Amino acid sequence: MVTITNLAQAARTPMGDRGDQLLLVNPDMGARHLDLHVNILRPSGPDGKYHYHPSSENVYVVLSGTGRFLAEGVEHTIKKDDVVFIPAGVKHSLSARGTENLVIVEIYTPLPAQFVPVQE
């Protein structure tokens, strides 16, 4: 079944103090191989947890704002129009920086995208 979701009307779920998530494509809509959502991260919110996904690849497309992306212990600054590919098994975290929200499109494939925290 085809699903059409308008960004302005997408289901919005809170991510604790970090911000909100817009749910666009996921298993609840019938997706079997990928998850697509928009994360809206507050610059005043807490940093993202350092973690990895054992068998899922991950992509971020930065729509606006600035972020601190940590991958395998190396820090990167990401900004509007950056596209980040994260292979399965790579330890990473993402946190908003600056004065405006960090807004990213995030894609996981394949499902399920297990979240494994890393002890720091």
| Sheet (strand 83-86) strand order | 11-14, 19-25, 35-41, 102-109, 57-64, 83-86
In a domain, 9, yes or no: no
Residue 81 lies in a domain: yes
Per-residue confidence (pLDDT) for residue 119, from 0 to 100? 80
Does 104 fall in a domain? Answer: yes
For 43-61, what is the mean pLDDT?
A: 96
CATH number at residue 63: 2.60.120.10
Does the residue 38 lie in any domain?
Answer: no
pLDDT of 112 reads 83
Confidence of residue 75 (pLDDT cuts 50, 70, 90): very high
Domain that includes residue 69, residue range: 58-111
pTM: 0.94
Query: Which is higher by pLDDT, 7 or 119?
Result: 7
**Cβ contact 102:67 at 8 Å:** yes
Assign 108 a pLDDT band (cuts: 50, 70, 90): very high
Number of domains in the chain: 1
Residue 66 lies in a domain: yes
pLDDT of residue 63: 98
For residue 109, the model assigns a pLDDT of: 96
In a domain, 75, yes or no: yes
Q: Is 104 exposed, middle or buried (0-12, 13-18, 19+ CB in 10 A)?
A: buried
